[in-house]
């Protein structure tokens, strides 16, 4: 009788596999419209306090538990890990032969209340930059996962992103641009395999833009900035064009997505291991 019961599906693998399938469906629909689809898993803490990098309440299980994003009050997901965990993950990646870039790339992302954001490549001193891109980014799916037995929780999310032709931004558009929050991100990206890469970044966030030269333009001069919030972000990203290409060539949708979900979970567990 047991053989008639459907095979067991690990809930974590199911969440990741289903999210990959949704991302792939979005990618197929959106790529002809000049959209790109971003799939990422970001480490963080699912907590009632953003100042706590540990689970504030006792959890009597070591089994990772899935949380429905609609009914998680009073818990919230806070992206980022503690600095010691960030450094430990960085050093551990070296031990498995990951090729670390010698230098970080530094990008200032300036966001409005809406979807628009300006991305500036910054110089080494972080006091000037030039415009890389104007993008519209919108999250279309997310799921928070609490992992009591690990050193961090994670959020899986799928976003839609479109690069705007900077030629369409005339003087009136620049003059009307009103920043809401900016993030100065110093990041290293490490490729794990053809589908997966790990991004590690120290991020300084600020909302005071009063000393910036107005109107904004493609060239940016940055005054001394007080960035009260510093976070250490660890993200695992999926190369959606590569995944789509392999699925299209082989037509093995379920097996490839299942294998990729398992690889995602393996790397996430490795990155989120308790090392302190």
- Of 194, 190, 185, nearest to 101 (Cα)? 190
Q: How many CA atoms does the CB half-sphere of 112 hold within 13 Å?
A: 15
pLDDT tens track for 228-252: 788 999 999 999 999 999 999 998 8
Model confidence at 209, in pLDDT bands (50, 70, 90)?
Answer: confident
With 0-12 CB in 10 A as exposed, 13-18 as middle and 19+ as buried, what is 232?
A: buried
Tell me the mean pLDDT in the region 102-107: 87
Q: What distances in angstroms separate CA 82 from CA 197, 238, 246, 270, one per listed residue?
A: 21, 24, 36, 16
- Of 224, 117, 127, nearest to 181 (Cα)? 117
Alpha-helical (H) ranges within the chain are 11-30, 83-95, 171-176, 240-250, 253-271
Q: What is the pTM of this model?
A: 0.85
Mean pLDDT over the full length of the chain: 84
Q: What distances in angstroms separate CA 203 from CA 18, 28, 54, 88, 159, one per listed residue?
A: 30, 32, 20, 17, 20
- Across the chain, where does the E strand assignment appear? 35-47, 65-66, 76-79, 105-111, 116-122, 128-146, 153-164, 181-191, 196-206, 219-221, 229-238
264 near 240, Cβ under 8 Å?
no
CATH of segment(s) 33-271: 3.20.100.10
Of 48-62, 214-228, 251-265, the range with the lowest mean pLDDT is: 48-62
């Amino acid at each position: 009788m047991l053989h008639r019961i459907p095979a067991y599906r690990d809930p974590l693998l199911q969440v990741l596999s289903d999210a990959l399938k949704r991302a792939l469906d979005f990618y197929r629909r959106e790529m002809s419209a000049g959209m790109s689809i971003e799939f990422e898993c970001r480490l963080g803490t699912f907590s009632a306090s953003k100042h706590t990098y540990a689970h504030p309440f006792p959890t009597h299980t070591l089994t990772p538990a899935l949380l429905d994003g609609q009914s998680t009050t009073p818990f919230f997901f806070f992206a980022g890990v503690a600095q010691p965990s960030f450094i430990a993950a960085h050093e551990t990646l070296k031990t498995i032969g990951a090729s670390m870039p010698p230098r970080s790339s530094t990008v200032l992302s300036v966001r409005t209340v809406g979807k628009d954001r300006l991305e500036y490549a910054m110089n080494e001193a972080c006091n000037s930059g030039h415009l890389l891109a104007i993008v519209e980014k919108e999250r279309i799916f997310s799921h928070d996962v609490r992992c009591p037995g690990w050193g961090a929780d994670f959020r899986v999310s799928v976003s839609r992103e479109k690069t705007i032709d900077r030629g369409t931004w005339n003087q009136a558009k620049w003059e009307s641009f009103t920043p809401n929050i900016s993030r100065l991100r110093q990041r290293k990206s490490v490729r794990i395999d053809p589908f997966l890469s790990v991004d590690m970044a120290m991020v300084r966030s600020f909302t005071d833009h009063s000393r910036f030269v107005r109107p904004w333009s493609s060239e940016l001069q940055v005054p001394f900035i007080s960035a009260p919030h510093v976070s250490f972000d660890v993200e695992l990203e999926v190369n959606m064009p590569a995944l789509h290409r392999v699925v299209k060539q082989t037509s093995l949708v379920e097996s490839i997505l299942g294998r990729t979900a398992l690889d995602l979970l393996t790397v996430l567990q490795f990155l989120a291991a308790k090392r302190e």
